[in-house]
């Protein structure tokens, strides 16, 4: 997922050096009751915190049938589908949500008050898990930063400028405010994510989370929720996969619309691209490599 991978590495490096990420701290379980656990991320790398939360949720689900891990005091974790698909590959149904700093106007508003607040689901399947991974904004902020290396315009309906006016200028969008996905629907989902993360964890509420890019010297204090469900408590895993395959067959048999070659299941395009990249390598823009090297040479 190029917008959430190496393109973000220079910022992670800057935050680790400046104090916004504490690379040597170890996240701690501060409470556990049955299948529910609370994890203090201790300001560590978001990806490391998320990995620990997924491991714990998987263990709890296999023991109790369901595992829930609430995380506070974390940092940006990147693409959530990278974590939920691990649960799917463990034969579990996975869900993850993550609050972030305010970058999106609430429906009817013209100032940023909620985050892009991503969420992800993943389900066991053959040959690939079914993975849903999306921001609750009209576009992920990382997609705009990726476009910054290749263009200066964005489609209408994605963002407002700093004055709260609609814009198609990439530069103005980066300085401005994103719009929620599908208007009131994306806004409602963003609030739901905030309830499941910042509110439930007892951590920093999204509107108070510092910017990932603009405040490199301060931990973000973001919150996450990881949920794992063992389908074997309801259906044997093989039967679940069989029924999932039946569903996929019925959906992907749909004739493609004009401009499309095939109908795919959620996550299938990324899974096929991952197979290709593992064989052929990952293309990286020279500007990104230059930024990484500049940090390494500091």
> Rounded CA gap, 43 and 183, in Å?
33
- Contact assessment for residue 58 and residue 92, using Cβ atoms and an 8 Å cutoff: yes
The answer to whether 135 and 181 have CB atoms below 8 angstroms apart is: yes
CA angle 19, 52, 82 (to 5 degrees): 90
Considering the entire predicted model, what is its pTM?
0.92
The sign of the dihedral angle between the CA atoms of 276, 293, 27, 189 is negative
Cα–Cα distance measured from residue 194 to residue 196, given in angstroms and rounded to the nearest whole number: 5
Q: Work out the angle between the directed axes of helices 9-18 and 286-296 (0-180°, nearest 10).
A: 20
pLDDT in tens, the chain (298 residues): 777 788 889 999 999 999 999 999 999 999 999 999 999 999 999 999 999 999 999 999 999 999 999 999 999 999 999 999 999 999 999 999 999 999 999 999 999 999 999 999 999 998 899 999 999 999 877 778 777 666 678 888 999 999 999 999 998 998 899 999 999 999 999 999 999 999 999 999 999 999 998 999 999 999 999 999 999 999 999 999 999 999 999 999 999 999 999 999 999 999 999 999 999 998 888 888 898 898 888 7
Pairing state between β 66-74 and 222-229: antiparallel
């Amino acid at each position: 997922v190029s917008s959430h991978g190496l393109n973000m590495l220079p910022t992670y490096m800057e935050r680790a050096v400046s104090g916004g990420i504490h690379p040597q701290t170890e996240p701690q379980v501060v409470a556990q009751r049955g299948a529910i656990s609370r994890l203090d991320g201790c300001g560590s790398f978001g990806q490391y915190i998320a990995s620990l939360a997924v491991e714990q949720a998987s263990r709890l689900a296999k023991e109790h049938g369901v595992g829930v891990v609430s995380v506070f005091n974390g940092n940006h974790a990147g693409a959530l589908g990278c974590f939920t698909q691990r649960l799917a590959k463990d034969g579990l149904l996975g869900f993850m949500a993550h609050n972030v700093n305010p970058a999106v106007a609430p429906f009817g508003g013209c100032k940023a008050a909620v985050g892009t607040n991503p969420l992800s689901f993943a389900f066991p399947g053959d040959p690939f898990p079914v993975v849903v991974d999306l921001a609750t904004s009209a576009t992920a902020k990382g997609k705009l930063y990726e476009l910054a290396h290749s263009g200066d315009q964005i489609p209408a309906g994605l963002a407002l400028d700093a004055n709260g006016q609609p814009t198609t200028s990439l530069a103005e969008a980066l300085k401005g405010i994103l719009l929620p996905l599908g208007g009131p629907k994306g806004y409602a989902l963003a609030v739901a994510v905030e309830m499941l993360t910042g509110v439930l964890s007892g951590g920093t509420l999204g509107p108070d989370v510092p910017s990932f890019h603009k405040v490199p010297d301060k931990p973000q204090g973001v919150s996450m929720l990881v949920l794992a469900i063992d389908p074997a408590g309801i259906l044997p895993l093989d039967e679940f996969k069989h029924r999932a395959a039946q569903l996929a067959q019925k959906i992907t048999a749909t004739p493609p619309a004009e401009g499309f070659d095939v109908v795919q299941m959620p996550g299938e395009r990324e899974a096929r691209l991952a197979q290709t990249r593992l064989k052929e390598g990952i293309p990286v823009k020279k500007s990104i490599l230059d930024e990484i090297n500049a940090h390494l040479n500091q």
